[in-house]
Chain A
């Protein structure tokens, strides 16, 4: 377990760690064990079968990032350093930061390791450094996967100097993302306690995700196309958009731009990561000791029974046992910290994506043109939240509790899956729909009501399909989380493409007279079949 290539690479930096007062052999030991565990999937309560040391699941999902990275390449052919690098770093920061916030927050906020390691004679700084390096390693792999190909293309297209600077900036960007996220959490841990703290963290995640999206918009708006040339429009808020800093750094070093504002921006690109790193190292001890706040148990408030909610649940799940599973799923999804850490950023995403596309496509067009148009198909993006959540529900921090499935006198396995799927729809899709549907009707007027109903019906059908495709036979909350499982990669990706397919069918039917009405009826029948027979069949065949 000491033979990871990454560890051997790290060995070369051993003197550096020693000089920083870190117990290097201990650091190596901890990282080694972490990496060993990442390659393993703990067998669940039901599948006790021997699990072989597998490949790291994280590494397997990296190809998706390579695909994302390809979108950067066209920008390498622009002739303006400032513009191209700002956009490239906008895209990179977008991809890496979202991943950091949703995938690695749970590692950053992990309390289990503390209980495990602190009683042992290892000093706190070594433990924290190991944790940071563990995340850094994965972030670096992500960065290499995303930016690797563009980086080499830039060597040929833009020359050696460009390549080197790009590489250095990627390293700075990584530091920046890591440290900023850590510092944001640190601030939250300082100011909040108990239950409120947990809510604020999820809220912050959504806010970070929205911030990334808005930041990306700002980057795009920093440049204006004049006479076939992108010219930079200085504005105060560029002081807060890191991608523009990196663009400025390129501009300042490679084309010799020396205006004060550009120099300031370029300096920020270098100093901010360094300063935040120093700050982080100084704050590590208090960060770690305030982490224990996350594990404190609070006496829960007694919850009043909401009659309206009860009636609604009775309506959508008349079967008492199924409703029971719905309530169980609600409770689990509400309380599972890691689950929320991974899912909530995506929920934030779903709210904004439709509008993001609306505004980028109507850059010059008036609002009127938008209202007359058919951008309401963007409502299909709300479906994105469904595979994200459903691919996560089989995991739980307390997966061992799943022995109850085996122990209880369960009438019908189907009830679990159906209850779960319904609860996901109610908890995550319903609120999004209730908020976004009125907004859409306000923008596009009442003429789209049937379209929206079709999309909602699609969501119900789609949720069932997602449950079959993404969860298969696995029971909800029955497998442990691990860093390495990352996202469900390929399957979830394909399920997202399925949304596009649904949208296409919708467009086709819309071309015929009464096509949409017919489609709605077809969907309704499909829902009935899939939600009754479908759930049953798929269980018993696989």
Chain B
């Protein structure tokens, strides 16, 4: 069965001022892909995602989403996208129920249906009892659950997730991982950014490593293992980003901590 191409980046270059953030990125993403999108801090991961969502513009090259050039699309393509940003800001003074109703409204969902769906999803995450409490009183894990629900209410075809498991307890993590696997089996595409390599290794069926504005590696975990002769994604990551002094740095760090303070 031919898998449909969902996203294509052609020769995409992005600068902030004089700083080159992404250079000639070429990337094709297909339905059913769970892409583990990894790279060091500041490598341009979130910039890529933000460009696809229209949060950042002024890039060179072409971005195609659902086969259409982003430059000539209006906002409607976003109805098929779900997004969990890193450190997402929520409107804290709203209750979970109000917030989810609002987001559902932005996606053009019917209010009654959305409310019911949100409630049932919250029940599954065991946060239905705080439905009418302010988000400001939520713990980090609870907020994360609300965010995940808000990104899925409209049953999107593409999901951009940035550290979606942060703050979740071990059991909830298991649930979310399973949800992602099942969504992908249904043909949804998932962009999964994270710094926690073991999870990326287990969750994704394809890994894209971005470093210094370039794609440094692209393939399944097994392919990367073979190419790099390393056992874990952590080791591959270190070797591809040219990092091997963690021990020395840690030693120096601890030494500084233990210095007598005046």
Contact = CB atoms under 8 A, between A and B. Distances in A.
A124 B134 CA distance: 28
B93 A26 contact: no
Interface in A29-68: 29-30, 33, 36-37, 40-43, 48, 51
Interface string B22-55: 0000000000000000000000000000000111
A144 B107 CA distance: 36
Contact of B106 (A26, A48, A112): A26
Interface string A1-42: 100000000000000000000000110011001001100111
A133 to B, nearest CB: 17
A115 B53 CA distance: 10
Contact of B75 (A36, A124, A292): A124
A43 B75 contact: no
Given A116-B89, A116-B91, A121-B106, 8 more contacts: A26-B105, A26-B106, A36-B93, A43-B137, A48-B137, A117-B106, A119-B81, A193-B17
10 contacts: A26-B108, A33-B91, A37-B93, A41-B93, A115-B55, A119-B83, A120-B107, A121-B106, A193-B17, A480-B92
A29 B109 CA distance: 12
Interface of B: 16-17, 53-57, 74-79, 81, 83, 85, 89, 91-94, 98, 102-103, 105-108, 134, 136-137
A289 B77 CA distance: 19
Interface residues of A, number: 31
B76 A121 contact: yes
A386 B83 CA distance: 45
A122 interface: yes
A121 B79 contact: yes
B118 to A, nearest CB: 15
Contact of A33 (B89, B92, B102): B102
Nearest to B101: A1
A538 interface: no
B19 to A, nearest CB: 10
Interface string A181-206: 00000000000010000000000000
A43 B107 contact: no
Contacts of A43: 134, 136-137
Given A41-B93, A296-B16, A121 B108 contact: yes
A123 B103 CA distance: 14
Contacts of B137: 43, 48
Nearest 6 pairs between A and B by C-beta? A121-B78, A40-B93, A120-B106, A29-B105, A119-B53, A121-B79
B79 A33 contact: no
A193 B16 CA distance: 12
